[in-house]
Structure 1
Amino acid sequence: MKIYTRTGDEGSTALFGGSRVSKADLRIEAYGTIDELNAFLAVVRDQEVNKKREHFIVQIQERLFTIGSMLATLPEATKVKIPRLVEQDIVSLEDAIDQMEAHLEPLRNFVLPGGHVSISHCHVARTVCRRAERKIVALHKVETIDPIVIKYINRLSDYLFVLARAMAAELSIVETPWKPTF
């Protein structure tokens, strides 16, 4: 299999099922942002502080490939076999959030991203996750998207926020609270 096909040289790409759309299509924006998020999650996974969470983050990356497959398939392509998310995928994120929060001080203020390069990488992943969510919701306004995708991405951004806080605690980094000026 060659990596280049030349079929996209005019600015279109194929979806699962064979339909072609513009590379600027909202669907491509959505799953392209999921791909970007997956790459940022690789950076988060590769941080030494996350070695004990590596397996779980790989599972998240696999779910992101599932979401990419779901987004790359038009609703009418019913004969295309693709993986699906299940409610347990969301429960797993919620369980991980609860486990991390059990060891964290309660949040009393917004916190500024940063404090350590590992934590900053996690916050970048979180913001890319939020952008992916916005793209998916925008696509859902014009085409049917399985609601579990939106739910999973929303919960994943929560997970990444709590993960950044857990990483700060494990690295003994004091979180910087936001102090608004009026």
Structure 2
Amino acid sequence: MGFRLSKIYTRTGDAGETGLADGRRVTKDHPRIEAMGEVDTLNSQLGLLLTELAEQQPLHSGLTEILELLAPCQHRLFDLGGELAMPEYQALDAVEITRLEQAIDAWNEEVGPLKNFILPGGSRLVAQAHVCRSFARSAERRCQHLNAVEPLRGECLAYLNRLSDLLFVGARLIARRQQVNEVLWQAASAPEA
């Protein structure tokens, strides 16, 4: 892509519309813009998780694998944003989905089966991985909504789905490697009759 921003503000969006790369003008609450925004938010939250993982490296070398596997996901999310901004552009492929699936399988084997519902928490890193997971689900919902109006490639939808799964298992793996207990859900007591 040769396009580079030379000016940050254009004043063309002040009336509630924005331009897509193909020249179309759409409202800022158009499903495509909503999907782009959620993917961007996920990417920002993932950036925070990656930064926090990097800051832990001298203390927890077991987190290096997680950092190295998640770091390319930021770039792929940017690719996905490009696909959403330029519907003719295609960047994501099935290889990336397979990469995530292989990591999910390996990490899930290490953490073992889930026997209870877990809540976000235990450590800041675990909680941030869950924040990323929830934003991945939100981005997936927005993209599914757009897909109902303007069909998207299956790779885009599958990538977000696998990424949310990876972040869930990644949160569990972070807890294990940090040697912190996962926060188990405790059901409310049944109301007295």
Does 2:161 align with 1:154?
yes
Partner in structure 2 of residue 23 of structure 1 = 28
Partner in structure 2 of residue 42 of structure 1 = 47
Q: Displacement, 1:93?
A: 0.4
Letter in structure 1 aligned against 2:171? A
Q: Indicate the SS of the match to 2:110.
A: coil
Instruction: Write the distance in 2 (CA, Å) between the matches of 1:97 and 1:142.
Output: 31
Q: Displacement, 1:143?
A: 1.0
Instruction: Write the distance in 1 (CA, Å) between the matches of 2:70 and 2:41.
Output: 15
Partner in structure 2 of residue 179 of structure 1 = 186
Unmatched segments (≥5 aa) in structure 1: none
Q: Indicate the SS of the match to 1:18.
A: coil
The percentage of counterpart residues that share the same residue type is: 40
Partner in structure 1 of residue 3 of structure 2 = none
Letter in structure 2 aligned against 1:59? P
Letter in structure 1 aligned against 2:91? R
Q: Displacement, 1:92?
A: 0.5
Q: Indicate the SS of the match to 1:102.
A: helix
Partner in structure 2 of residue 91 of structure 1 = 98
Letter in structure 1 aligned against 2:113? P
Which protein is bigger by CA-based radius of gyration? 2
Instruction: Write the distance in 2 (CA, Å) between the matches of 1:115 and 1:54.
Output: 19
Q: Displacement, 1:164?
A: 0.3
Given that residues 14 and 20 in structure 1 are in contact (C-alpha distance below 8 angstroms), is that contact kept between their aligned partners in structure 2?
yes
Partner in structure 1 of residue 141 of structure 2 = 134
Given that residues 92 and 156 in structure 2 are in contact (C-alpha distance below 8 angstroms), is that contact kept between their aligned partners in structure 1?
yes
The one-character-per-residue Cα deviations of 1:60-97 (angstroms, maximum 9, x if unpaired) are 011101111111124xxx4xxx3421111000001111
Q: Indicate the SS of the match to 1:39.
A: helix
Given that residues 90 and 155 in structure 1 are in contact (C-alpha distance below 8 angstroms), is that contact kept between their aligned partners in structure 2?
yes
Partner in structure 2 of residue 166 of structure 1 = 173
Instruction: Write the distance in 2 (CA, Å) between the matches of 1:176 and 1:65.
Output: 32
The one-character-per-residue Cα deviations of 1:120-143 (angstroms, maximum 9, x if unpaired) are 111111101101111111111111
Q: Which moved more, 1:139-148 or 1:30-39?
A: 139-148
Q: TM-score, normalised by structure 2?
A: 0.86
Instruction: Write the distance in 2 (CA, Å) between the matches of 1:165 and 1:56.
Output: 15
Structure 1 segment 63-74 matched on structure 2, within 5 A: 63-74=76-87
The one-character-per-residue Cα deviations of 1:34-73 (angstroms, maximum 9, x if unpaired) are 0000000001111225444333322101110111111112
The one-character-per-residue Cα deviations of 1:89-115 (angstroms, maximum 9, x if unpaired) are 000001111221222132111111111
Q: TM-score, normalised by structure 1?
A: 0.91
Unmatched segments (≥5 aa) in structure 2: 1-5
Structure 1 segment 104-143 matched on structure 2, within 5 A: 104-143=111-150
Letter in structure 2 aligned against 1:17? D
